[in-house]
Amino acid sequence: MTLGEKIAMLRAEHRLSQGDLAEKIGVSRQSVSKWETGSSVPDLDKLVALSELFDVSLDTLVKDQDPKENTVPQLTAPQQSPEKYSSRKIAGWILLSIGLLSVVLGVAFNLLLAVLGVYLLLCGTICLFVKKHPGLVIGWGTFLPCAYFLPWFTSANMRLIFHPYIYENVGDWIVQLTISYGFWAVLFLLIFVTVKNTRMKSHPFLFCGWAVFSQIYGFIPIAFRHTEQTMKSYLVLSWCVIIFLFVLLFFIGKCLFRYLQTRKQK
């Protein structure tokens, strides 16, 4: 196997386009295309960068052999359990069983228990049928409705942290403020885990930005409906949110432009 064929094979295994590989190595897409067709050979520093990116040795990359042939198998490699016995499916069946039992008991004794059972049934179904990151799907699917309906069932909301002094005369304002901070902590935890374990790591600012914007967009109308009694801090915060929105839209447009350019080059 030639060097160009190995670069093309490793690039395909890592699910990278020629443009993506070129961006990571710091060359043009045409250079990557010439490497793969054998028209040119990468410089030594680019070969080192390719070996680090693809996690193969430099000898394996340069020598005329299949990269997989040079890997040393582990003598005591643990055998992977079949898919039907995976922890994901086991967790799914357990959640389905507990959920079904909760629904039956809830219908007989307490409807709140039945609601919990329906939620567990949904989580179990996600574990069984969503192969990639079912935990994240459950996490976001739980957090977003809870954050949206939080003001409906309590007097707390996630925007409370921006004006806590308004609630100081309310008896349980400390509890409400604690709930608000707790929801923000969960939001940032979900963002961190999502960026770390998915393709969102390529654009962490955009993902984090839109997630935060989804909780603060309610301040935007203040900029267009303010009166003389409107507090200046609210007005400033409203315009900051608007500027933040334009920044997010700018980076979204930039990413789309790069994507379209890459598609044209292909």
- For 229, list phi and psi in degrees, rounded to 5: -85, -10
Question: What would the two tokens of residue 247 be?
Answer: 């920044």
The answer to whether 118 and 99 are in contact (CB under 8 A) is yes
**Given the structure tokens 């350019």, which residue do they identify?**
261
pLDDT digits (tens, 9 = 90+) for 26-50: 888 888 888 888 788 888 878 888 8
pLDDT digits (tens, 9 = 90+) for 146-161: 888 887 877 777 777 7
How far apart CA 208 and CA 246 sit, in angstroms, is 15
pLDDT digits (tens, 9 = 90+) for 71-113: 444 444 445 444 445 788 888 889 889 989 988 888 888 888 8
Taking Cα atoms as reference points, which of 249, 248, 255 lies closest to residue 199? 255
Domain 3-67 has CATH 1.20.140.10: no
pLDDT at 122: 92
Residue predicted with more confidence, 185 or 227: 185
Average pLDDT over residues 5-17: 83
In the structure, what pLDDT confidence band is assigned to residue 163 with cuts at 50, 70 and 90?
low
pLDDT digits (tens, 9 = 90+) for 172-211: 677 777 888 888 888 889 888 888 887 777 777 777 888 8
Taking Cα atoms as reference points, which of 76, 24, 30, 78 lies closest to residue 52? 24
How far apart CA 38 and CA 191 sit, in angstroms, is 42
Question: Is pTM beyond 0.85 here?
Answer: no
Domain chopping of the chain, boundaries: 3-67, 86-131, 132-265
Average pLDDT over residues 206-224: 81
pLDDT at 65: 54
